Structure 1
Amino acid sequence: MFDAFYFLTGGTSGIGAETARVLAKRGVRVVMAVRDMKKAEMVKERIIRENPEADIMLFEIDLSSLSSVARFCSQFLSQDLPLNILINNAGVFSPNLEFSEEKIELTFATNFLGHYLLTEMLIEKMIDTAEKSGIEGRIINLSSVIHSWVKPDCFSFPKLLHPIRYNGTRAYAQSKLATILHAKALSKQLKDRNANVTINAVHPGIVKTGIIRAHKGLFTDSLFLIASKLLKSISQGAATTCYVALSNETKGLSGKYFADCNETNCSDLANDESMALKLCTQSRALIHGYLDESQKHYLPNVCLM
């Protein structure tokens, strides 16, 4: 079954590492795109100890850097490998205002823009793979229920890139709203093309992963103390991602939002088609400025927005 390629970002810990383990156990080739290759090698070794037949490929990528994402995609696509599933899992939570290499707010750059560019550059390969194999391609965006905290007047593209008054929790919520809007917009365009590729967003649940552990403090400690009875294990947190990626029950479903392995409702703002179109139009215009002509060659034949 190794002719099936499942691509995952951020698989070095937490939900991502568990997702990689489950996928490898299913007998597919797992491609992990990670920032920390040393940690990735350790995850790979653990998976192979459990499952000696596992086939895992590692690539280095910094999702906060648009130039890094573009270089990676060019490298990956030059190998002419198939691509069946793309899981946009990697994420950061930055309590303090930080900026990416391109001077974009770090949380938004990593959680949304990097994955947006990654998806744009890989989508034609996914469409081609699905057409040749007859197997539905699937894209899964990791989101969060916290997306519902965002108010319309707080979701302005210029302010997402360069916030004036920064709040880490708000920035994280905004980035997770953006991942749902991306799924909604891209789903519509894929349907218009009759492409055999779906895209959905998932909420993994409240899981105390490395994103939170790296930022100890009174607020996060108190939040998890209050929510302790609702906390999921790492394996439970990865369950919805794996369900949407692997289950026959999700075949043909696109532009949806899942939690606890069930389709559920997202916020009204996340369902705003005009907001989704505007976000993707602005994002595409932005990323074009960071690509050379050879990299633009990999972008969709039509504007996926």
Structure 2
Amino acid sequence: MSGFSSTSTAEEVTQGIHGTGLTAIVTGTTHGIGTETARVLALRGVHVIMAVRNTIAAKTVQETILEEIPTAKVDFMELDLSSMASVRKFASEFQSSGLPLNILINNAGILATPFTLSKDNIELQFATNYLGHFLLTNLLLDIMKKSASASKQEGRIINVTSGGHRYTYSEGIIFDKINDESSYENWRAYGQSKLANILHANELAMRLKEDGVNITANSLHPGAIITNIYKPEISGSVPTELMNKFGKMVMKNIQQLLQISS
């Protein structure tokens, strides 16, 4: 037994871990889970690159982390995961930086939004939560392989997913109806995107292992976390099955969330 529980904080779990010399990209770091992930990684000596849509908000987060941890190495780069052009631009700019990449945390996401198409004419939740992260991971994979080989340390790819993947029920991902507004259900669309995150991690983990690459790929459900991703005025009511499940659970705060570095 690890000795940790659902109430353990990321800071507690990573106590004694030293990440000096490692570089991590964390998407969606301007609030909630992403902010705490960036803070704790920086606390452990990791050079954190915050991949964000809102660079003004990222600057505030960066300053807050540096106030607490003056020696922290925290930078931010603009990334809109709903735009494949933005993802490609981000990956190109990171490659040009010459930095290694040891940890990739695909955290950013949107929840149960009304039907909207992305700039690439793809349903917005599927584009943001899954496709953007899939492309980002694929574009950065060679750098991660080289970094793992050079550092002799295992690389980590983590897809933050959700128990909401069950909202697809028995139908799974209905690819030919992803952009079908007439059959769109916001929570089911969210579930499809989260199921895709899981399938991505599973397939990637298998391929990395077969190729003998020293990188792990995992997906995780952080639990019911009190963050601002859920906006009732946008997402509407929570599905009954979710309320039945989480109504019996204690909601965790942001600090009680991940064991990403253990």
Question: After the TM superposition, which residues 1-305 of structure 1 pair with which residues of structure 2 at under 5 Å, given as runs?
Answer: 2-213=20-231, 215=233, 219-220=237-238, 227=247, 229-237=249-257, 239=258, 243=259, 245-247=260-262
CA contact (8 A) 1:16 1:89 kept: yes
User: Where does structure 1 differ by over 6 angstroms across 4 or more consecutive aligned residues?
Assistant: 221-226
Amino acid at match of 2:146: D
Report which of the two has the higher share of helix: 1
* C-alpha distance after superposition, 1:42-63 (max 9, x if no partner): 1111111111111101100100
Task: Give the SS at the match of 2:256.
Answer: helix
Evaluate the alpha carbon distance shift between residue 221 and residue 113 of structure 1 in structure 2; reply closer, same or farther with a 3 A threshold: closer
Amino acid at match of 1:175: S
* C-alpha distance after superposition, 1:13-61 (max 9, x if no partner): 0010011111111011001100000111111111111111111011001
For structure 2, the 5+ residue unaligned runs are 1-18
Q: Percentage identity across aligned positions?
A: 44
* C-alpha distance after superposition, 1:177-231 (max 9, x if no partner): 0000001111111111100001000001111312103746761499779738521
Distance of 1:79 and 1:14 partners within structure 2: 27
CA contact (8 A) 2:101 2:144 kept: yes
For structure 1, the 5+ residue unaligned runs are 248-305
CA contact (8 A) 1:190 1:198 kept: yes
Distance of 1:73 and 1:216 partners within structure 2: 31
Distance of 1:215 and 1:190 partners within structure 2: 41
CA contact (8 A) 1:212 1:220 kept: no
| Structure 1 position 95, deviation (Å) | 2.9
Evaluate the alpha carbon distance shift between residue 154 and residue 179 of structure 1 in structure 2; reply closer, same or farther with a 3 A threshold: closer
Q: CA RMSD in A?
A: 2.1
The TM-score with structure 1 as length reference comes to: 0.74
Evaluate the alpha carbon distance shift between residue 68 and residue 112 of structure 1 in structure 2; reply closer, same or farther with a 3 A threshold: same
Distance of 2:191 and 2:253 partners within structure 1: 22
Distance of 2:223 and 2:63 partners within structure 1: 27
Distance of 1:200 and 1:229 partners within structure 2: 24
Distance of 1:189 and 1:93 partners within structure 2: 29
Distance of 1:115 and 1:82 partners within structure 2: 19
Task: Give the SS at the match of 1:210.
Answer: coil
| Structure 1 position 2, deviation (Å) | 4.2
Task: Give the SS at the match of 1:32.
Answer: strand
Task: Give the SS at the match of 1:99.
Answer: coil
Amino acid at match of 1:234: I
* C-alpha distance after superposition, 1:121-140 (max 9, x if no partner): 00111011001110000000
Task: Give the SS at the match of 1:194.
Answer: coil
Task: Give the SS at the match of 1:59.
Answer: strand
When the two structures are aligned, how many residues end up with a matched partner?
242
The TM-score with structure 2 as length reference comes to: 0.86
Amino acid at match of 2:192: Q
